[in-house]
Amino acid sequence: MVTMSARTGEFILSEADDTLSRDPITIASGVGALATGTVLGRITARQAAAPIPTIVGTGTGVMSLLRFGPDVQVGSYVITLTATSATAAFTVVAPDGTSLPNGAVATEYKSSHLSFLIANGGTMTLGDAFTVVVTAAGTPVLVGTGTGAVSGVSLGKYAKLGTYKVRLLATSATAAFEVIDPDGNALGQGNVATAYTSNHVNFTLANGGTMTAGDYFNIIVAGYSAPTGKAWDPTAVDGSQVAWGVLLAAVDATSADQKGVAIVRNAEIATSALAWKTTVTAAQKAEAYRQLAVANLIARS
């Protein structure tokens, strides 16, 4: 007996307009081989970190108040001075090459990517630059005078894009700290040397010698410049726990990113022709159908 593989788009019962119902998707390297009809989630969040950089050049400007917004990208942001004065202008270029609005020394710069203040430390020199390097899975660096360190950083299922600020409230080996989410909401308090867990972020703040009230760490949650997907996983915390679409044709992303196409809206799909991650239960499938229906992607038995 010969087992036939599913044909491209075999799961589609009806489709309003293929130019509107389909979107391109990159299937992430390491996901493996996905069959036609695989229910997909999008990877939309990853933990990252970025230290405050020092100036590169001959000037003495200093950066502070660095934090990140919902459009933060992994990679290098380059801030370059275009004049020489105490209020010199500077350009900002994102990791994907996009030019963000210009700013000026001594005025706090704010954008949906990153925010910061460059203070005139004495000399500002044309062409001097700061490079803010946002590293995926990087370790947050303490901002302040103490020597505490963060470990075991991971995201929860409700992690928001942007910056979580972890700020020490006292000075001791078991000092209390507060956690502020990217929207400025207080999530609660924890203590040094005790693991902090939540549906947003998880970590342990260890006493590395000196803990100083007011010191803080930035835990960054960054997205992706292009949609990146994998098989829908209701237990995931990277965004793929939300059902987003159905893979039109088989893709093998075992060893490299691969391009694909997904049906993501305005279509009817046959439940009998869908493919799932092996651990997904019947009850979880019902939840996936509900999530897909939000985009008018209707499952029919």
Residue 255 lies in a domain: yes
Is the confidence at residue 4, as pLDDT, over 50? no
Q: Which residues pair with 220 in a beta bridge?
A: 48, 163
Rounded CA-CA distance 51/278 in Å is 40
pLDDT band of 153, cuts 50, 70, 90: very high
Tell me, yes or no, whether 276 lies in a domain: yes
* pLDDT recorded at residue 5: 58
Whether residue 2 is contained in a domain is answered as no
Of the candidates 95, 46, 94, 75, the one whose C-alpha atom is nearest the C-alpha of residue 219 is: 46
Task: Specify the pLDDT at position 1.
Answer: 36
When the pLDDT of each residue in the chain is averaged and rounded to a whole number, the result is: 93
**52, part of any domain:** yes
Residue 3: pLDDT above 50? no
- The residue out of 78, 103, 136 marking a domain boundary is 136
Considering the domain architecture, whether residues 126 and 155 belong to the same structural domain is answered as no
pLDDT attached to residue 147? 86
* Residue 7 resides in a domain: no
- If phi over 0 gives left and psi between -120 and 50 gives alpha, with beta otherwise, what is residue 97? left
Q: 139-143, 204-208, 227-231: which range is least confident on average?
A: 204-208
Confidence of residue 248 (pLDDT cuts 50, 70, 90): very high
Where do runs of H (alpha helix) occur along 6-157?
18-21
Rounded to an integer, the average pLDDT of 114-136 is: 92
**For residue range 85-107, what is the model confidence (pLDDT) as tens digits?**
889 999 999 999 999 999 999 99
Whole-number percent of the chain with pLDDT over 90:
84
> Average of pLDDT values for 129-136?
97
Task: Name the pairing type of β-strands 39-43 and 243-247.
Answer: antiparallel
pLDDT band for position 213 (cuts 50, 70, 90): very high
Residues 72, 118, single domain; the answer is yes
Band (pLDDT 50/70/90 cuts) for residue 16 is confident
- Within a domain: 31: yes
Please state, for a pLDDT cut of 70, what percent of the chain lies above it.
98
Least confident of 168-172, 196-200, 285-289: 168-172
pLDDT digits (tens, 9 = 90+) for 21-64: 999 999 999 999 999 999 999 999 999 999 999 999 988 889 99
Average pLDDT over residues 55-82: 94
Q: Are residues 54 and 91 in the same domain?
A: yes
Q: Is residue 73 part of a domain?
A: yes
**Last residue of a domain, which of 222, 255, 280?**
222
Give yes or no: residues 62 and 106 share one domain: yes
Residues 55 and 22 in one domain: no
Q: For residues 253-277, give the mean pLDDT.
A: 96
Cα Dmax for the chain: 81
Q: Is 104 exposed, middle or buried (0-12, 13-18, 19+ CB in 10 A)?
A: middle
* Last residue of one domain, picked from the residues 169, 188, 222: 222
Is residue 73 located within the same domain as residue 100? Answer: yes
**Where does the pLDDT of residue 148 fall: very low under 50, low under 70, confident under 90, or very high at 90 and above?**
confident
Are 53 and 130 part of one and the same domain? yes
Please tell me the predicted confidence (pLDDT) of residue 208: 74
More confident position, 16 or 268: 268
This prediction has a pTM of 0.85
Same domain for 101 and 162? Answer: no
Question: Which residues span the domain enclosing 52?
Answer: 47-136
Residues 38 and 56 in one domain: no
For residues 61 and 125, state if they share a domain: yes
Structural domain count of the chain:
3
For the CA atoms of 222, 227, 228, 231, what is the dihedral angle to 10 degrees?
120
230 and 262 fall within a common domain: yes
